[in-house]
Structure 1
Amino acid sequence: MTRQREEHTVRTVRIRAARPEEAAELSALALRSKAHWGYDEAFMAACVAELTLRPEEVEARRTVVAQAPDGRLVGLATLEGEPPRGELGLMFVAPEAMGGGVGRLLFDHVREAARAAGFTGFDWAADPNAVPFYEAMGGRRVGTVPSGSLPGRVLPLMELAL
């Protein structure tokens, strides 16, 4: 994606609080985003429960969405836990919006929301494909954690100090 297109996308997408009635759409977005990396059908089936956002969880998980000018939801993120330490629970960008700065907008929003809420930092289990993005956002790989979906799989553990 060209720098000009990325800047245009960033200027036109807005971040707002998610609504409970959007939970199913956000869960589908998370699964489409995960599938973008070429995971097979069995892998994706194993991820469904972990990537499902329920209506009653939307507010408690501090869910935000990235919304395109046409109303489409093109990303989501959750900031979970209580200060001083939180967790980036979910963060996904729709495949068609990848490379347009949406992930950066979401991550920057979560970082600022965490600061405003009194967090001193947050951590998260990262998809291995997303580690370069998270490192570019200032995240640091600090170890590994077991996958919540696939027994025996480990994921990079990332952290960000605020």
Structure 2
Amino acid sequence: MKVRPARPSEAAELTELALRSKAYWGYDEEFLAACRAELTMEPDGIGPRRTSVAEEDGRVLGFTTLEGAPPTGVLGMMFAEPDAVGRGVGRLLFGHVVTEARRLGFARFTIDADPNAEPFYLAMGAVRVGATPSGSIPGRELPLLEFTLASR
């Protein structure tokens, strides 16, 4: 498994991957439809959002984005194919984001986490710093997490 920059031509594929990944947590079709706009990747946003994919044998197994400008960024999206959950895709992508953020001069990044993904991010070293409104579901709040980059 390797991480590489995403290609603009993969935007539609990444959007569908994000929706499959979100569905993994048991969300219904109505919920997923409400999230579609927020989870849509546009070809012209792939580069500016610093989108990276985890790939194995030519198959994209997950992707992530590192957004914003130093010193504080945002882990905007991180999703894995449902059949790849538990295979280290998330750990690989998170490690890549940390390396890239450090290389680019970030001191920290925030994560608006799905409640089901919060334990993963906490295990990676993020801490909960509050809550943030969902961009898709009125009245729903998401855990707001922060990951501080250690100097090296």
Quickly name the TM-score band, shorter chain normalised. Answer: over 0.9
Question: What runs of 5+ residues in structure 2 fail to find an aligned partner?
Answer: none
- Give 1:5's aligned residue: none
Determine which of 71, 76, 84 is the counterpart of 1:84. 71
Residue 118, structure 1, aligned to residue 105, structure 2: yes
Query: 1-side partners of 2:133 and 2:109: how far apart?
Result: 18
- Give the AA of the match of 2:46: V
Residue 152, structure 1, aligned to residue 129, structure 2: no
RMSD, matched Cα: 0.4
3-state secondary structure, aligned to 1:151: coil
What TM-score does the superposition give when structure 1 sets the normalisation length? 0.91
- Give 2:13's aligned residue: 25
Query: 1-side partners of 2:145 and 2:71: how far apart?
Result: 17
- Give the AA of the match of 1:37: W
- Give 1:67's aligned residue: 55
CA drift of 1:124 comes to 1.2
Residue 57, structure 1, aligned to residue 45, structure 2: yes
3-state secondary structure, aligned to 2:121: helix
What TM-score does the superposition give when structure 2 sets the normalisation length? 0.97
Query: 2-side partners of 1:64 and 1:38: how far apart?
Result: 26
- Give the AA of the match of 1:80: E
Q: Report the number of matched residues.
A: 149
Query: 1-side partners of 2:80 and 2:123: how far apart?
Result: 16
- Give 1:46's aligned residue: 34
- Give the AA of the match of 2:127: R
- Give the AA of the match of 2:70: P
- Give 1:139's aligned residue: 126
- Give the AA of the match of 2:140: R
- Give 1:6's aligned residue: none
Spell out structure 1 runs of 4+ moving beyond 3 A. Answer: none
3-state secondary structure, aligned to 2:39: coil
